[in-house]
Amino acid sequence: MSLRTFTLAAGAAVLLIALPGSASAASGQFRYSYTTADGYEAVGFLNNPASGQCINLAPAASEPGSASRAPKNHTDATATVFLGTDCEGENYYSLKPGRGASDRLQVRSVVFS
């Protein structure tokens, strides 16, 4: 390997190390309401949720026929909430950062951009 090739490769390696990576999480908190199996009202939350990955909301998503409601996006990313699990289905709604939805909006999964 010539000195010039070595210098170019070393320079490229330094650039890769110096460049910041893309964010892998939304900063902040995502909240939602749900009813427990005992009939109590509760609030679930996700702190600094992963970006680009579907998250099924628990515990409501694990109980057949139940859904969470009233999502509030207090993160710095857009949250797309779905009525279906695994971020599937035609029923979805996008919440911009700092926005919330009414108690009527039912959700079972969410993905952050």
Domains and CATH numbers, the chain: 28-112 (2.60.20)
Q: How many CB atoms lie within 10 A of CB 110?
A: 25
CA distance 93 to 51: 17
Q: Within 13 Å of residue 65, how many CA atoms lie on the same side as its CB? A: 1
3-state secondary structure of 6: helix
pLDDT 10s digits, 45-60:
999 999 999 999 976 6
What global pTM score does this model have? 0.74
- For residue 11, which phi and psi values (nearest 5 degrees)? -65, -40
Q: For the segment 12-42, what is each residue's pLDDT rounded down to a tens digit? A: 343 333 334 444 789 999 999 998 878 888 9
C-alpha R_g of the chain: 20
